[in-house]
Amino acid sequence: MRIIRITLWAVDLTSHETYHMAEGKTCATVTSHILCLETDTGLRGWGEVCPIPHYLPAFAGGVPGAVTEMGREILGMSPFGVDAPMRKLDGFLQGHLYAKSLVDIALWDLFGQATGQPVYALLGGRTRKDMPLYHSITCVAPDDMARISKTAYQTGIRQFQVKLGVEGDWQADAERLTKVREAVGPGPLVYGDWNCGASRLQATRTGRAVAHLDVMLEQPCKTLEDCAAVRQATGLPMKIDENAHDLASLRRAHELGCMDAVALKLSKFGGLSAMRRARDLTVHFGAEICAECTWGSDLVTAASLHFAASTPHGSLMNTCDLSSYVAPRICPDAPNRENGRIAPPDGPGLGVEPDPEVLGPPILEIV
């Protein structure tokens, strides 16, 4: 079995409400790229990547060029065993992990279909029926964020990510965390996320103001060293996100003592192959995992859910159904959240397939 055709689409995903983060970063309408790898047996594997502008060293405009560059290397590949072809691509094109991630996901989808196994089985086996979701709350006025958290709580959500830092006002951020905690009551997990947008001083002042609450902090500063300083000064547990992108960064965060939890994102690591290695190291370090990607719809959500379903007991903090935050939905039969939880798709491979009418005409074909 060999890959004989590569097809790429671009689909604009629009958030149900504009999503505000620190330093002026927003998600309103963002371009997601959908990849199909077709084999000489007729099987088709699907992948997706959707970088957020100005968020990480990745941009949507780079995806078609990178896929074109890798195209002749991808053609003729066998989907049986994904690590070897991905290492080959790493040697052929340096970096551009975000563009490699949708290739890697599509190869895992093909591998699963060809062997009749769901992706979670190939990643180590299913460890749970379903997974807890967190709900990410856009950084708006504190009272509005409390209202959003109450609405999500009523749907069964018990984990809440509170976006911080839009104004650079540590007191406003402390109020956000306080009001969300009050709105959802004791017990649910609440954590405040600056997306690298705070100084060490701002984050420390916010953390000390809410140190009496049961909250966690997420990636306040741009460096691991500053994040570690905030954790030490506030005594609050910390989740690392933007600074966790390879095995070396995970090891460094562990050494600094600031990785109580970590966001493992497909597009940061380059797909499921590298994420699997990162998962195993994170489990060894004793940190809890948020299994997700940067942004996207049903395909990248499905890949995240398979990854989450294979994560060992005691090591999965949560996952994210990115597809519920955007429109249109790309795969009509993809799973939906139910009572704050979600299960991976059924069937071999990813278990989902896009609606051709949603995809529209392709932007690139390589044969």
Catalytic site positions: 163, 265
Nearest-angstrom CA–CA distance, 289 and 286: 10
| CA 367, chain centre distance (Å) | 31
Element (H or E) spanning 147, and its range? helix 142-154
- Looking at the DSSP bridge assignments, the partners of residue 96 are none
What single string gives the DSSP state of each residue in 79-114? Answer: -S-SHHHHHHHHHHS-S-HHHHHHHHHHHHHHHHHH
**E strand residue ranges, the chain:** 3-20, 26-39, 44-49, 131-132, 135-137, 159-163, 189-193, 216-218, 238-240, 261-265, 288-292, 316-319, 326-327, 341-342, 364-366
Nearest-angstrom CA–CA distance, 241 and 318: 14
- Is 275 in a helix, a strand, or coil? helix
Residue 243 makes CB contacts below 8 A (sequence gap 6+) with 196, 219, 222, 223, 224, 227, 249, 253
Is 360 exposed, middle or buried (CB count within 10 Å of its CB: 0-12, 13-18, 19+)? exposed
The tokens of 53 are what?
A: 């502008």
Element (H or E) spanning 42, and its range? none
- Looking at the DSSP bridge assignments, the partners of residue 318 are 290
The tokens of 349 are what?
A: 């491979």
